[in-house]
């Protein structure tokens, strides 16, 4: 199912209906930016035309006039469902009018009709006139899967369509034109059959992969970056958290022409909270791209652009909206693994997260634990301007997908921090000991870092010395630093702003239980939110969020 050959520009087949549509748009964006003259050809079926990916992907491509041609193979059935039962249009190509692009319907079993229609669409795309939709009306002779009894269609219908098989039709046409003799056609048939037989024989006789190869190609190789060591003469400046985001993205846009920023409201507002303000004016519409409110198209397009050689930064607004592009998260970000390491996905996407501002359940999540369960994805949750800037720069330079969650309360707090005036990066997977202690280890994530430090001050007055560790990145997780601290203190409390079940706190607990159990003098405590959605009323939201009081209680209990 997951076939690909990136050496000749085939970015892969897709097992998800319509899954390749937004990805093709991203690949076309890369061709457009790099001025390669390439055109992305996206194959889809009639069933895919009824998905959100079709609307979001085609609409975005039309808005940006991307060089992409959508070849829709209308074979009348989406699995067992007849297209006439789920679409009121006679010709699906008529949907192109909704996006302001050309759409044409052709006999998909007529080789020359398809060739001419697609050729015209490719030529149009190369001239910068944007995408086209070519609907090829054809038929699927075989079942949707091996063993499909095909009870949803009649034998007579199949036989009637078999009379229109494109291969004998084209063979007859060429013979009638005097271009191809029966002898030459038979020879071509024999050569193709021999080539297929040889390929099957090669596959059958090739050894199976070694079992441990199942662990390869999850991540591309990482160029190790070093965190700058503090020095007395180092020039520093004080900035806010939003300024740290802005400066990191600004510096990377200036450093690498393959870096682009795309997302909702990045032009007029510089993103909803203004962290990208001024970048559109500085770099222009080719580098800073405003998108529709289409999370599927944004992340899917970023994946395609990354696969084709760009380094996109996708601004997704709130992480609560990740569910809209759930397919891209749990199925498409794994392209490198599915295609045997043939490509890299240097993709960064970021979103606001966190409660405390009365934004309620659909604008306040963190999703740490959920995101940690997605293979191939790296996760950053910075708590300070210094960490945010250094980690964002490293993320953009990664050849792997990285998600950054920025807590709204930190952004609005006006929190300032010192950062070097000179360029610096922070390696992913390196925790920071925010406060040293000897009695209890507290691992605090994102906003909870400030609350843990405040609680540690209060506990110090009671004679309890707390070591506060900020993982900074949840994937990769710096297990070594956490285990080393637990070995010293013998006690562990984890504070994370997310429901306790399925949380990052649970994963960190499991790591320590399996690899550092002998160091523990008391059970591990998790200070998380209750297993409920996030309430709106301020008094309920305050009760829901972990705080210093609950952390102090947990630390006291493990002593």
Confidence of residue 19 (pLDDT cuts 50, 70, 90): very high
Domains of the chain: 6-210 (3.40.50.970), 236-420 (3.40.50.970), 432-558 (3.40.50.920)
Report residue 472: phi and psi, to 5°: 65, -45
- Tell me the DSSP string of 387-429: HHHHHHHHHHH-SS-EEEEEEHHHHHHT-EEEEESS-----TT
pLDDT at 287: 96
Distance CA 212, CA 557 (A): 43
Q: Percentage helix, strand, coil, to 5, in the chain? A: 45, 20, 40
Q: Is the pLDDT of residue 224 over 90?
A: no
pLDDT at 227: 80
Query: Using one digit for the tens of pLDDT, what is the confidence trace for 270-320?
Result: 999 999 999 999 999 999 999 999 999 999 999 999 999 999 999 999 999
For strands 492-499 and 288-290, give the pairing.
Answer: unpaired
pLDDT at 222: 85
For strands 473-475 and 68-74, give the pairing.
Answer: unpaired
Distance CA 366, CA 448 (A): 12
Angular region, 35: left φ>0, alpha ψ -120 to 50, beta rest: left
Nearest to 441 by CA among 542, 373, 520: 520
Report residue 548: phi and psi, to 5°: -60, -40
Contacting residues for 146 by C-beta, under 8 A, at least 6 apart: none
Other Cβ atoms closer than 10 A to 184: 13
Tokens of 503: 């949380």
Three-state SS at 255 = helix
Distances (CA, A) of 269 to 215, 262, 279: 43, 13, 10
Q: Which residues pair with 74 in a beta bridge?
A: 137
pLDDT at 228: 75
Distance CA 558, CA 100 (A): 64
Distance CA 336, CA 313 (A): 18
**Arithmetic mean of pLDDT, 337-353:** 94
Radius of gyration, alpha carbons of the chain: 28
Query: Using one digit for the tens of pLDDT, what is the confidence trace for 239-278?
Result: 999 999 999 999 999 999 999 999 999 999 999 999 999 9
Query: Using one digit for the tens of pLDDT, what is the confidence trace for 119-165?
Result: 999 999 999 999 999 999 999 999 888 888 899 999 999 999 999 99
Tokens of 50: 């009824």
pLDDT at 75: 95
Tokens of 87: 């679409």
pLDDT at 15: 87
**Arithmetic mean of pLDDT, 432-456:** 97
Other Cβ atoms closer than 10 A to 240: 18
Report residue 474: phi and psi, to 5°: -90, -30
Map tokens 């494109």 to a residue: 166
Distances (CA, A) of 28 to 35, 67, 118, 423: 10, 5, 16, 32
Supply angle C-alpha 438, 528, 365, rounded to 5: 130
Three-state SS at 46 = coil
Residue 15, class by beta-carbon neighbours within 10 Å (0-12 exposed, 13-18 middle, 19+ buried)? exposed
Map tokens 């009365």 to a residue: 358
**Arithmetic mean of pLDDT, 395-411:** 96
pLDDT at 225: 77
Confidence of residue 351 (pLDDT cuts 50, 70, 90): very high
**Arithmetic mean of pLDDT, 486-491:** 97
**Arithmetic mean of pLDDT, 59-79:** 96
Residue 196, class by beta-carbon neighbours within 10 Å (0-12 exposed, 13-18 middle, 19+ buried)? exposed
Contacting residues for 35 by C-beta, under 8 A, at least 6 apart: none
Q: Choose the weakest-confidence range: 74-88, 94-108, 123-137.
A: 74-88
Q: Are 425 and 396 in contact (CB under 8 A)?
A: no
Q: Are 415 and 508 in contact (CB under 8 A)?
A: no
pTM (global) more than 0.85? yes
Distance CA 392, CA 350 (A): 10
> What percent of the chain is modeled with pLDDT above 70?
99
Confidence of residue 233 (pLDDT cuts 50, 70, 90): confident
> What percent of the chain is modeled with pLDDT above 90?
92
**Arithmetic mean of pLDDT, 13-25:** 92
Distance CA 534, CA 248 (A): 31
Distance CA 377, CA 5 (A): 23
Query: Using one digit for the tens of pLDDT, what is the confidence trace for 198-218?
Result: 999 999 999 999 999 999 999
Q: Is the pLDDT of residue 64 over 90?
A: yes
Distance CA 198, CA 303 (A): 35
Supply angle C-alpha 331, 334, 337, rounded to 5: 135
pLDDT at 3: 86
Distance CA 188, CA 179 (A): 14
The catalytic site residues sit at 363
Q: Are 76 and 150 in contact (CB under 8 A)?
A: no
- The greatest distance separating any two alpha carbons of the chain, rounded to the nearest whole angstrom, comes to 98
Residue 476 exposure: Cα atoms within 13 Å on the Cβ side: 14
């Amino acid at each position: 199912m997951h076939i690909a050959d990136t050496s000749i520009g085939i970015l892969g087949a897709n097992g998800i209906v319509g899954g390749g549509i937004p990805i093709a748009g991203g690949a076309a964006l890369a061709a457009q930016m790099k001025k390669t003259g390439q055109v992305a050809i996206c194959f889809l079926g009639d069933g895919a035309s009824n998905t959100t990916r079709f609307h979001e992907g085609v609409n975005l491509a039309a808005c940006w006039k991307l060089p992409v041609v959508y070849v829709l193979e209308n074979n009348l059935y989406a699995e067992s469902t007849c297209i006439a039962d789920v679409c009121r249009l006679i010709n699906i190509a008529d949907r192109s009018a909704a996006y302001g692009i050309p759409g044409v319907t052709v006999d998909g079993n007529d080789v020359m009709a398809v060739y001419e229609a697609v050729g015209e669409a490719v030529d149009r795309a190369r001239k910068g006139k944007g995408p086209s939709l070519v609907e090829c009306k054809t038929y699927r002779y075989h079942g949707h899967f091996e063993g499909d009894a095909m009870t949803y269609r009649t034998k007579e219908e199949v036989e009637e369509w078999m009379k229109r098989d494109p291969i004998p039709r084209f063979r007859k046409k060429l013979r009638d034109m005097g271009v191809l003799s029966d002898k030459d056609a038979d020879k071509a048939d024999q050569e193709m059959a021999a080539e297929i037989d040889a390929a099957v024989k090669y596959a059958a006789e090739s050894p199976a992969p070694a079992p441990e190869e199942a662990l390869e190609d999850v991540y591309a190789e990482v160029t190790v970056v070093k965190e700058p060591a503090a020095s007395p003469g180092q020039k520093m400046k004080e900035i806010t958290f939003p300024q740290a985001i802005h400066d990191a993205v600004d510096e990377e846009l200036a450093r690498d022409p393959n870096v682009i920023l795309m997302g909702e409201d990045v032009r007029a507002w510089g993103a909803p909270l203004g962290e990208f303000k001024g970048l559109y004016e500085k770099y222009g519409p080719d580098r800073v791209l405003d998108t529709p409110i289409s999370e599927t198209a944004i992340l899917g397009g970023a994946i395609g652009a990354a696969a084709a050689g760009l380094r996109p930064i996708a601004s997704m607004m709130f992480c609560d909206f990740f569910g809209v592009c759930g397919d891209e998260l749990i199925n498409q970000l794994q392209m490198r693994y599915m295609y045997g390491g043939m490509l890299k996905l240097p993709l960064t996407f970021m979103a606001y997260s966190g409660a405390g501002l009365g934004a309620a359940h659909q604008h306040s999540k963190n999703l740490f634990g959920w995101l940690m369960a997605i293979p191939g994805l790296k996760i950053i949750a910075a708590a300070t301007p210094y960490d945010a800037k250094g980690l964002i720069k490293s993320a953009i330079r990664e050849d792997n997908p990285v998600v950054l969650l920025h807590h709204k309360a930190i952004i609005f707090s006006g929190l300032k921090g010192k950062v070097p005036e000179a360029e610096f990066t922070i390696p992913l997977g390196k925790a920071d000991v925010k406060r040293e202690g000897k009695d209890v280890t507290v691992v605090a994530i994102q906003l909870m870092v400030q609350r843990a430090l405040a609680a540690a001050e209060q506990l110090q007055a009671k004679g309890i010395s707390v070591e506060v560790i900020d993982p900074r990145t949840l994937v990769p997780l710096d297990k070594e630093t956490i285990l080393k601290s637990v070995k010293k203190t013998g006690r562990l409390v984890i504070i994370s702003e997310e429901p306790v079940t399925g949380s990052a706190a649970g994963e960190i607990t499991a790591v320590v239980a399996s690899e550092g159990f002998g160091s523990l003098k008391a059970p591990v405590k998790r200070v998380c939110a209750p297993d409920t959605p996030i309430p709106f009323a301020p008094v309920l939201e305050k009760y829901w969020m972990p705080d210093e009081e609950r952390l102090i209680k947990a630390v006291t209990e493990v002593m």
